[in-house]
A and B are shown apart, each in its own frame.
Chain A
């Protein structure tokens, strides 16, 4: 696997000798309890908090290369009062591409491409004030993807969506991952999306204490529970049914599980 982002000996506030690396084209889920350092880590990885040659993504992040570095990153946080500059959706979508020097035609083509993937075209000519809060959050996700970032950082944004919408958004993000060989790093306080990711990292007091492929979640449930991270229902069901000797392998869907238990 090719590395896309590398953090070496990060020393900043509560992060001491912090190291982590991320491979191209994978979906990482970083979980941690309250105050484990998730948002701080996201702010450091995104370049929002400037550091000096400790974080690499196509180039080292430092004062000289900050702009080059942040061009590779997309960041999406929870929608708030100050999330939008303009009144119209179209203006918000054009802004980041204008800033990067896209021509009008290229901008509009790119916007149409991404809106189509997210089935969001109907909102193109709306005012921001006409959108629901979930649509505003979805718009922020879309905006963060327009400039084709190498790495997308998401700060606990998917958990506000109902489960069917969340699954739809993850499918859209995975399509974008495939088209652009993009890496996703999602920060969350729960493992709801663990079934969709490739790698799970557990953050505790500004240190990564576990870094496992998602398949190993079944053997590591206790460490997550003991660090206040809840296991998703299907994973929990698999673990408990195995403990009772009712199944002897892990299932990623309930139908197959039930069919095998009651052949």
Chain B
């Protein structure tokens, strides 16, 4: 199944796979700023209308908490005490968490998230990654992440969209990131794991392009012990 991002880049429509996590890198600000749609949720567009976390959630959802709402709070490890806090006293990380809560509760089918883990610690990053996978696999949502972090996009995303001014390239993450010329053309920095794999391959060792450090270590061990 596909989704069409209409007039996404200089009037061009872009087709992307639905129910996937899509990474967007390069000149993506214009895309993220121009995106509209009834079924689109954009994290950076969420603004607060009230003074407390509890009032904010109630404002958006009129107190209609469901089983799914409770499950979401569990998935994000949200404590009851969070709801008592005033918004102007929240740290930058907690503000982002609150925005995520509102985004997920809006229940839109396509989500746009710029720099998804900025201001968040590793624990929350892991929980969000699990949630992104759950939302794409179980709820068929499409999650579009904009980031300058190649390591993040390579490890997490199913597909990737590189944008440079009016030009773009879309494809599977494992196909595009191993193309040195493509990365150079779109000014994309190599993920560190790929840097390492390329250094090993230059030695004539046929190390495969893994996306996770644990798989990489196992492959390195097998290659060395051969």
The interface of chain A, by Cβ under 8 A from chain B, is 32-35, 39, 78, 156, 159-164, 189-190, 225, 228-230, 233-234, 236-237, 240-241, 244, 246, 254-255, 258, 261-262
Contact = CB atoms under 8 A, between A and B. Distances in A.
A254 B194 CA distance: 11
A236 B213 CA distance: 8
A222 to B, nearest CB: 13
B34 interface: no
A228 B123 contact: yes
Interface of B: 91-94, 97, 115, 118-125, 148-151, 189, 192-193, 195-196, 199-200, 203, 205, 213-214, 216-217, 220-221, 224
B189 A255 contact: no
A225 B122 contact: yes
Given A39-B92, A233-B192, A258-B196, A33 B121 contact: yes
Given A35-B91, A254-B195, A258-B196, A160 B115 contact: yes
Contact of A159 (B118, B150, B195, B216): B118
B68 to A, nearest CB: 24
Nearest to B115: A160
5 contacts: A34-B124, A225-B122, A228-B123, A254-B196, A258-B200
A87 B217 CA distance: 52
B217 A241 contact: yes
Contacts of B200: 258, 262
B192 A240 contact: no
Given A163-B149, A241-B217, A262-B205, 18 more contacts: A33-B121, A34-B91, A39-B92, A156-B119, A159-B118, A160-B115, A190-B122, A233-B151, A233-B193, A237-B196, A237-B216, A237-B217, A244-B220, A254-B192, A254-B195, A258-B200, A261-B220, A262-B203
A100 to B, nearest CB: 30
Contacts, number: 82
Contacts of A228: 121-124
Contacts of B193: 233
A230 B192 contact: no
A225 B148 CA distance: 24
Contact of B122 (A39, A229, A262): A229
A193 to B, nearest CB: 14
Contacts of A33: 121-123
B223 to A, nearest CB: 8
Given A237-B213, A261-B220, A35 B93 contact: yes
A56 to B, nearest CB: 27
A241 B213 CA distance: 10
A258 B198 CA distance: 10
B192 to A, nearest CB: 4
Nearest to A230: B122
Contact of A189 (B119, B149, B205, B214): B119
A258 B199 CA distance: 7
B97 A34 contact: yes
B196 A78 contact: no
Given A228-B121, A228-B122, A229-B122, A255 B115 contact: no
Contacts of B91: 34-35, 39
A258 B203 contact: yes
B118 A255 contact: no
Contacts of B216: 237
A33 to B, nearest CB: 4
Contact of B213 (A189, A233, A258): A233
Contacts of A156: 92, 119
Nearest to A31: B121
A247 B215 CA distance: 17
Contacts of A78: 92
Contacts of B149: 162-163
Contacts of A236: 213
A51 to B, nearest CB: 19
B92 to A, nearest CB: 7
A236 B196 CA distance: 13
